[in-house]
Chain A
Amino acid sequence: MNQFNFRPLFRYEDAFIEGILTTLKLAFQAGAAGLILGLVCALLLGRGNRAINLIIRSYIELIRNTPPVIQIFIIFFVFPTIGVRLPPFEASVVALTLYFGAFVTEIVRSGLASIPRSQLEAGHCLGITNLQVFLHVVMLPALRNIYPSLTSQFILLLLGTSVASFISTEELFHTAAFVDSRTFRSFEVYALISAIYVSLVIAFRLFFFAFGKLAFRWPTAR
């Protein structure tokens, strides 16, 4: 057997960096859009309109019970037949947003449910508006309660961006497959991108930890 040799990979440095940037862009864009989508869905679910609830519930069940790769295929290959034609990167963002948003909906819902009714009443009794009650009374404690699951879900999204390679979005995993096909250094290539993914996850976890410490400083009973 030949020795491990990372040297042939060096000339693809730029491609790897491009891949990392695209992966991060996917995660950030789908993360931000999915967060908003999830928040809106969770708030709509709370309003108790039958038809809207049915639509949102179906969406969540659909996403949670099908493989992400099929979701991205449908958006890239099937949507054009109904006239929605997206380039790979955009299609990936849409698919990942829908994917992330479904999980965020459930997480946000549990966060809203974790705030006791008495807190809302105390807010309303002070004569402030519903929006003010949400923004000032509910939001931060709810966010604190769901922070661990929300950040974990984002990490899953970050790793899950690799499905975008199936529709030839040139993110990190796609780059790896490309370099592998050129160098035949499978072990080295996948060892390298594994290390990159792990480093990204560690970096995000550290950031989330530090941010959480800063944002949620109030002492809690439990």
Chain B
Amino acid sequence: MALVEIKGLRKSFKDLEVLKGVSLTVEKGDIVALIGRSGSGKSTLLRCINGLEETQGGTIEVGERQISAKMAGLREYRQRVGIVFQQFNLFPHMNVEKNVTLAPVLTGKVSKAEARKLAEECLAKVGMLEKINAWPEQLSGGQQQRVAIARCLAMAPELMLFDEVTSALDPELVGEVLKVMEDMARQGMTMVLVTHEMSFARNVASKVVFMHQGKIWEEGTPEAVFGDPQTPELRAFISSTHH
């Protein structure tokens, strides 16, 4: 049974239909890379999976459970799904440790006493242990993004969603974040990620999904999608990403 099963998903903002019947399957352990032009609906798809947007048609099932923005148990569901955004969205008034342990403590996953240890474990995974007492504002973008990932890991999610997590970073900081994601992939984390890093999608993803105008235009293995694109739209997109 697939971990994520999306069928015929439709989403509109007022009159603007942004997702026009999207179907996508994510197996446990899959690394799905969503690629496509800006405005093609990639972020919206991730937001729907996390119950941040109300949808107008189709279904999303995660772990055999129907997901919607209004469902009962949305909170418990979100505790099992991590999402990382382009802009990090760390809480500026909490130090790194507090950012990481806030949700585990508030949801009763760990006691206050165990929290420090959990923070240390999660920060070690993203190479940020030595910054455990720092304020977010004192960190570089790459470091903030790694803390944001650790904040998700602290909830021990079954599924991680990444929305262009390296797009706001200076080029020299992209690598450190991608490396963390690669580690997670190697550990078997199921991940759906929107990315403009084509080499990452090519090397790490188990499936690449090309979105175009609110539809899944083409999908397949990295070899198939990048090596043998079937549509002119994908071909144009791929050539536009080589500089």
Q: Which residues of A contact B (CB under 8 A)?
A: 118-119, 121-129, 132, 136-137, 140-141, 144, 216, 218-221
- The answer to whether B75 touches A129 (Cβ under 8 A) is yes
A67 to B143, CA, bound (A): 54
B32 within 8 A of A: no
Give 28 CB contacts A-B under 8 Å. Answer: A118-B85, A118-B89, A122-B89, A124-B78, A125-B78, A125-B83, A126-B78, A126-B79, A126-B102, A126-B103, A127-B77, A127-B79, A127-B80, A127-B107, A127-B155, A128-B75, A128-B106, A132-B106, A136-B91, A136-B102, A137-B91, A140-B93, A216-B93, A218-B93, A218-B94, A218-B135, A219-B137, A221-B137
Number of interface residues of B (CB under 8 A): 28
Interface of A is mostly: helix
B interface secondary structure, majority = loop
Q: Does B151 contact A (CB under 8 A)?
A: yes
Known pairs A141-B92, A218-B95, A221-B137 / 19 extra A-B pairs, C-beta < 8 Å: A118-B85, A121-B52, A121-B89, A122-B91, A123-B91, A126-B102, A126-B155, A127-B78, A127-B79, A127-B80, A128-B107, A129-B75, A136-B102, A136-B106, A137-B91, A140-B93, A218-B92, A218-B94, A219-B135
B166 at the A interface (CB under 8 A): no
Smallest CB–CB gap between B185 and chain A, Å?
Answer: 21
Does B68 count as interface, using CB distance less than 8 angstroms?
A: no
B167 is an interface residue with CB less than 8 A from chain A: no
Q: Is B50 an interface residue (CB 8 A)?
A: yes
The chain B residue sitting closest to A133, CB to CB, is: B106
Residues of chain B at the chain A interface (Cβ within 8 Å): 50, 52, 75-80, 82-83, 85, 87, 89-95, 102-103, 106-107, 135, 137-138, 151, 155
Q: Which residues from B are CB-within-8-Å of A216?
A: 93
- Cα-based distance from A127 to B106 in the complex (angstroms): 9
| Shortest beta-carbon distance from A135 to chain B in Å | 9
- In the assembled complex, which residues on chain A have CB atoms less than 8 Å from the CB atom of B106? 128-129, 132, 136
Known contacts A118-B87, A127-B155, A141-B93, A220 near B75 by CB under 8 Å: no
Would B52 and A127 count as touching, CB distance under 8 A? no
Instruction: Specify which of B76, B85, B89, B90 lies most central, judged by the most chain A CB atoms within 10 Å of its CB.
Output: B89
Within the assembled complex, what's the spacing in Å between the Cα atoms of A70 and B78?
53
Which 3 pairs across A and B sit closest by C-beta, in order of nearness?
A127-B79, A126-B103, A122-B89
Residue of B whose beta carbon sits closest to that of A125: B83
A121→B95 CA distance, assembly (Å): 19
Instruction: Report the bound CA distance from A147 to B77 in whole Å.
Output: 36
